[in-house]
Amino acid sequence: MGVRTLLFDLRTAGLTVSEDGGQLLVTPRSRLSDDMRAMIKANRDALLAELRLPDALPLPLPWSGHEIALFGARVTLFINRGQSPADAEALAERCCDRDRDCSGLRFCLECSELGGGHCGSWRAAGYLRREAVLSTTPQRCPGFALAPPLARVEGETGGHP
Ligand code: SF4
């Protein structure tokens, strides 16, 4: 049993699990079964570590002006390239996350070489013939060139978050 499951089970059983001065407190003790006591004893350090975790993950950083401008340009481009508005927004958000983690991965939908669902630079991209491309799969492509509407935003906003 994982420590989170143990903590959940103890709380579900009506027990309060807390830390006091480095000591693990489980109350009321009258509700503790022998099995519970054994599990708590075996997982004492892990329970203390779990209790010390912050309640919530840190909030993500707000988007910069550059990221907002890029988001808008990407949504427009992706819709013009056949995505539904909802899919275009979801993909533009993925692009923002991708930019922040500096993975260098790109979507064909961001590429100037994408036309009619096919890659116009298939040799450079490593294909043996002109292929239809999976435009929403992130990849590292040697044929990639940023689509002009996105390149314009990069130029206007300095290209930095
Ligand atoms: S060059 Fe690469 S990224 Fe651009 S459309 Fe072709 S396969 Fe996609």
Domain spans, the chain? 3-52, 65-157
The per-residue pLDDT for 161 is 40
pLDDT band at 57 (very low <50, low <70, confident <90, very high): very low
The per-residue pLDDT for 116 is 85
DSSP-derived 3-state class of residue 60: coil
- Indicate the pairing of strand 118-119 with strand 23-27: unpaired
Query: What atom of ligand 1 comes closest to residue 112's alpha carbon?
Result: 4
The per-residue pLDDT for 155 is 80
DSSP-derived 3-state class of residue 141: coil
d(CA 136, CA 149): 18
The per-residue pLDDT for 73 is 97
Distance 107 CA to ligand 1 centre (A): 8
Token digits of residue 144 = 């990639």
The per-residue pLDDT for 56 is 41
The preferred substitution site among 81, 107, 109, 119 for testing ligand 1, maximizing ligand atoms within 8 Å of CB, is 119
Query: What atom of ligand 1 comes closest to residue 122's alpha carbon?
Result: 6
CA distances (Å), origin 78, targets 54, 120, 124, 139: 38, 17, 23, 17
Q: Is the pLDDT of residue 160 over 50?
A: no
Output the residue whose Cα is nearest ligand 1's atom 1: 143
The per-residue pLDDT for 128 is 87
Output the residue whose Cα is nearest ligand 1's atom 6: 119
Q: What is the mean pLDDT of residues 7-24?
A: 84
pTM over 0.95: no
Distance 74 CA to ligand 1 centre (A): 16
Amino acid at 56: A
Q: Is the pLDDT of residue 99 over 60?
A: yes
> Which residues have any ligand 1 atom within 6 Å of their CB?
106, 108, 111, 113-114, 119, 121, 125, 133, 141, 143-144
Q: Is the pLDDT of residue 61 over 80?
A: no
Please state, as a whole number, how many other Cβ atoms lie within 10 Å of the Cβ of residue 107: 23
Please, are residues 130 and 117 in contact by the beta-carbon 8 Å criterion?
no
Helix (H) or strand (E) holding 83: none
DSSP strand E in the chain: where? Answer: 16-20, 23-27, 114-115, 118-119
d(CA 101, CA 96): 9
Q: Is the pLDDT of residue 69 over 80?
A: yes
Q: Is the pLDDT of residue 157 over 70?
A: no
